[in-house]
């Protein structure tokens, strides 16, 4: 299960599970990188 992701902006995102990681990543993208939308599969592809 992947629960961590490092955004190129330097933000480290963590979730208790993949669902939470995807939710937190999408919220981060909406707040900090408007217009950059990634699907669940794309987020999990770059997560670890």
pLDDT in tens, 1-48: 999 999 999 999 999 999 999 999 999 999 999 999 999 999 999 999
Phi, psi at residue 9, to the nearest 5°?
A: -75, -10
Annotated domain spans of the chain? 4-46
Nearest residue to 13 (alpha-carbon basis) of 29, 24, 27, 2? 24
Query: What pLDDT is recorded for position 47?
Result: 98
Query: What pLDDT is recorded for position 31?
Result: 98
d(CA 16, CA 36): 23
Query: What pLDDT is recorded for position 22?
Result: 98
């Amino acid at each position: 299960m992947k629960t961590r992701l490092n955004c190129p902006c330097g933000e480290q995102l963590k979730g208790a599970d993949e669902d939470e990681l995807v939710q937190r990543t999408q919220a981060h993208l909406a707040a900090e990188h408007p217009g950059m939308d990634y699907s669940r599969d794309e987020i999990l592809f770059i997560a670890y």
